[in-house]
A and B are shown apart, each in its own frame.
Chain A
C-alpha cells in the first residue's frame, strides 16, 4: 500500500490516494478495456487466419511423407555411409516398407517426392512395389535388383537418404529453379524446367506496368475530380465507384466480351476498316488481355487515394505560384506535383500489392503467357498436388507483399487507408 498512500506534499484524491497512482490505475483499467474489446476479433483472426497461414508455410520446409513411408528402412539407411550400395538388412527393411506402402497405397506419394529430385525414378518404386510381394525370403538385394536394375544406382539411394529427413530446403530450391542432384549438390534446373524465376519476373513486370498505367490514367482523372465543383465531381465519381463496386467476375466477363476475336473491339475495328476481317487482333489469352483487364480493375484503387490527397491541396498555392511569375507548367511541376507524391505512393503500393497476388483475371483472360505466380500456386495446390512447392512459392510471394505492406504503413499509415 506504500505507493498508493500519499507522502507529504503530494496531491491527493478525495480518498487519500495519490493522484498519480489513481491516474495510473485508471489508465491501466482503460487499457485492459480496450484490449478486451479488440480481443474477440484478434483471437478470430489469429486462429482462423494467421495460424493457418503459418501452418501452410511450414509445408514449404517440412515434408514427412518419405520418412513415414520408409519407416523400417529409414533408421538403417540413415546409418549407411553412402559408399557403394547399402547392406542386406537395409534391402530387407526396404522390401518390407514397399510391401506395406503398396498395401496402404502410400508408395506413390513417396515415389513422387523422390521423383521431384531425381526425375524418372518414380517407376522404380511403383514397379518394385508391384512385384515385391512375390518375394517371400531373402536375399532381397538380388531380388530387387532383378525386378529393376536401377536399384544399383547409388544416386537413387543417396536421394532416398536425403529425402528421409523431414526438414528440407528442396521446395525452396525448386521455387527458385534449383534442385539437388542425386549426390546432394545444388544445381540449376535444366533450361526447359526453369519456369518459376521467369514467372516471378513476369508477375513483377506486369504488376509494374499495371501500376504505371493506372498512374497515367488515374492522375489526370483524380486532378479533374479534385478541381471540378462538387456538383460535377460527385457525378463523375460515380463512374469511378461503380466499377469499384462491381463484381470482379462481372468486369472480367465484360472484358472477355470486348477483347475476344469475335468481340466488340475487333468488330468495331473491322467495321471501321482499321483491320481486315482475316486479321482480327488477338487481344485475349495473352499478357495483353491480362494487362488491359487488370488496369481497368485496379484503376479505382489508384484514383481514390490520389483524389483524397489532391482534395486537401488548396488551389491558392497554384495561384500564388502563378502570380510569383511561374508559368503553368513550372507551377505545376514545382508546386502541385510534389504535394501529390504521398497519393501517388499510396496508390502505387496498393495497386502493386493487389496486382502481384492476382489470380482470377489472369486465369480467365491470361492464356498461356498471361499467367502469374498465383496461377502456378493454384496449379500446384489443385492439379499437381505438390503442396510443398505451392507453400514455398506462397511464402516468397507473401514475403514480398508484407515488405510492401510495411512500406505502405511507413509512408501512409494503415489508419489513413480510405475506402472511397
Chain B
C-alpha cells in the first residue's frame, strides 16, 4: 500500500503518523508478553533487567527458575539427579501438582462442555427451533455474567450439595464457563453449512445417523475442535472460580500464580508464564490450521 505520487503533504504526513501509531499499538499489545521470556532467565530474583543481562553476559542468565518449577515443594531438592529425584518432583512438587490439576480439570471440563455444547448448537441451528434467541441468550450467559458473581453463586450451591473443594465441583464450574464458547463456534460453523448436503445424503439412501456421521460431522469437526480449544483454554486460564471453589488439593496453575504474585513473588512465576505463552502459541497455531482446513472443506477460498 505505497503512497501514490499525487498525494498532498498533509496526507503524506497523516499516512506516516497513522502507520507509526499502529506500530506503537502493536508494540503495546505484544511487548508485555515477549518481555517475560528474557526476564524468566534472570539469574537474580528480580522482575527487572540487570546490567549483566543488558550487556548479554552469559553469567547473568540461568535456568534456575525453570528448575525451581520442578523443585519447589520437593522433599529433597538437593539430591543428585536420578529416578528418585524425578519421582520426588512428580509427587511433591507444588508447581508440578498444579500443572497436573490444570490438565485434569481442563480435560474433563472440556469434554463435558464440548459434548453438551455441540449437541445444543446442532439443535439451535435447526430451522424450526422455537424461541431461539432467548435460549441462545441463556446459554451464552455464563460468558457475560461477571465471574465473581458466578463464582460466589457456585460457592454456595456446591457447598450445599457437598461438592465444594472437590475436583467434581471445579470441573462442573469450568464446564459451565466453557459451554458458551463451544455453542458460539459450532453455531458459527453451522451457519455456512449447506443443508442440501443432508438431503442429498438421504436421497442416496443413507439413514439419518449415517448422514450425521459421514456427512455432517466431518464438516463441522473443525468448529467443534476450535470450540473445544476455547473451552480448554477457558478452564486452563480460569482463576476466580478456582479461588472460591478449590481447596489446596485442587490448586491449578493460575491459582498457584495468583498466590505467588500476592505472597512470595519470585521469577518462577515468569518461567511458568513463559511456558503458558508457549502453550497459547501452540493452541493458536492449531486453531489457525483448523480454520483454514474448515474453509477448504466448505469450499470457501481465503480472500
A390 interfacial by beta-carbon distance below 8 Å: yes
Residues of A within 8 A of B299 (CB): none
In the bound complex, CA of A417 to CA of B270 (Å): 33
Q: Is the CB of A374 within 8 A of B148?
A: yes
Binds A, one of B46-54, B64-72, B73-81: B46-54
Binds A, one of B20-28, B87-95, B198-206, B213-221: B20-28
In the bound complex, CA of A256 to CA of B154 (Å): 30
Pick the residue among B33, B179, B183 that contacts A250 (CB under 8 A): B33
Task: List residues 133-157 of chain B with CB under 8 A from any CB of chain A.
Answer: 133, 135-142, 144-150, 152-157
In the bound complex, CA of A50 to CA of B139 (Å): 10
Q: Chain A interface: which size bin? A: 35 or more
Q: Is the CB of B141 within 8 A of A49?
A: yes
In the bound complex, CA of A337 to CA of B66 (Å): 49
Q: Write the nearest CB–CB distance from A192 to chain B, whole angstroms.
A: 26
B239 interfacial by beta-carbon distance below 8 Å: yes
In the bound complex, CA of A413 to CA of B140 (Å): 12
Residues of B within 8 A of A387 (CB): 156
Q: Write the nearest CB–CB distance from B279 to chain A, whole angstroms.
A: 9
In the bound complex, CA of A38 to CA of B33 (Å): 39
In the bound complex, CA of A353 to CA of B36 (Å): 29
Residues of B within 8 A of A401 (CB): 144-146
Which secondary structure dominates chain A's binding surface? helix
B210 interfacial by beta-carbon distance below 8 Å: no
Residues of B with Cβ closer than 8 Å to A?
Answer: 1, 11, 14, 18-19, 21-22, 25-26, 28-30, 32-33, 35-36, 39, 46-49, 116-117, 119-120, 122-124, 126-130, 133, 135-142, 144-150, 152-157, 172-173, 175-176, 179, 181, 183-185, 187-188, 191, 230, 233, 236-237, 239-240, 244, 254, 257-258, 261-262, 265, 269-270, 273, 276-277, 280-281, 283-284, 302-303
Residues of A with Cβ closer than 8 Å to B?
Answer: 27, 30-31, 33-42, 44-45, 48-53, 55-56, 59, 217-218, 220-221, 224, 227-230, 236, 238-243, 245-258, 260, 262-264, 267, 296, 299-300, 328, 353, 356-360, 364, 374, 377-378, 381-382, 387, 390-391, 394, 397-398, 401-402, 405, 409, 413-415, 417-419
Other than the known A296-B28, A394-B149, A401-B146, what 12 A-B pairs have Cβ atoms closer than 8 Å?
A34-B130, A37-B120, A41-B119, A50-B138, A53-B150, A55-B153, A245-B284, A247-B237, A249-B273, A374-B147, A398-B149, A414-B136
